[in-house]
Structure 1
Amino acid sequence: MANTVFCKKYQKEMEALDRAPLPGAKGQEVLQNVSKQAWQEWQLLQTMMINEKQLNLMQPESRQYIMAQMDKFFNNETTDKLSGYVDPGDIKEL
C-alpha cells in the first residue's frame, strides 16, 4: 500500500508524494502536508501561471510570486485568476 499523508488542501488522508518536490525546508513541508493529487493539480496551475504571466523563474520576484500562489492554493485561499484560461467544460460546440 502507498504511503499516505493528511492533505491540507483536501483535509483528508490521501496518497503521499514519493519524495520532496522542492529542496530544503519548504520541500519537506510539502512532502509532509500535501497529497500527490494536490501536487499534480498545483503543477498544472503553476504551468498556466508561468505561461500566462510570462514569468521568468530566474528572477527572484517571479519565484516569490509562484511560492506565494502555491501557499494560497494548498491553504484553499483564492489564487490569482488567469484571464486567458477557458475551462474545456465551458466550451460550447458551434
Structure 2
Amino acid sequence: MANTVFCKKYQQEMEALDRAPLPGAKGQEILQNVSKQAWQEWQLLQTMIINEKQLNLMQPESRQYVMGQMDKFFNNEATDKVSGYVSPDDITEL
C-alpha cells in the first residue's frame, strides 16, 4: 500500500508523493501536506500559467508569482485564470 497524506487541497487522506518535489522547507511542507493527485493537477495548471503569461522563471518576480499561485491552488483559493482555456468537462458534444 502506498503512503498516504492528509491532502490540504482535498481535505482527505490520499496517496502521498514519493519524494519532496522542491528543495528545502517548502518541498518538505508539500511532501507532508499535498497528495500526488493535487501535485499533478498543480503541475498542469502551472504549465498553463507559465506559458500563457510568458513567464521567465530565471526572474525572481516570476518565480515568486508562480509560488504564490501554487499556495492559492493548494489552499483552495482562486488562482489566476488562463484566458481561452476550456476544461474538457465544459465541452459538450453537438
Q: TM-score range by the shorter chain?
A: over 0.9
TM-score, normalising length: structure 2: 0.94
Are residue 45 (structure 1) and residue 45 (structure 2) matched? yes
Please name the residue that 2:76 is paired with. Answer: 76
Q: 1:75 to 1:51 in 2, by over 3 A?
A: same
The root-mean-square deviation of aligned C-alpha atoms, in Å, is 1.2
Please name the residue that 1:23 is paired with. Answer: 23
Please name the residue that 1:8 is paired with. Answer: 8
Larger deviation, residues 1-10 vs 78-87: 78-87
Per-residue deviation at 1:93?
5.4
- Where structure 2 has 5 or more consecutive residues not aligned to the other structure, the ranges are none
TM-score, normalising length: structure 1: 0.94
How far apart in 2 are the matches of 1:89 and 1:19? 31
Q: Which 4+ residue blocks in structure 1 deviate beyond 6 angstroms? A: none
Please name the residue that 1:34 is paired with. Answer: 34
Deviations 1:8-34 (A, max 9, x none): 000000000000000000000000000
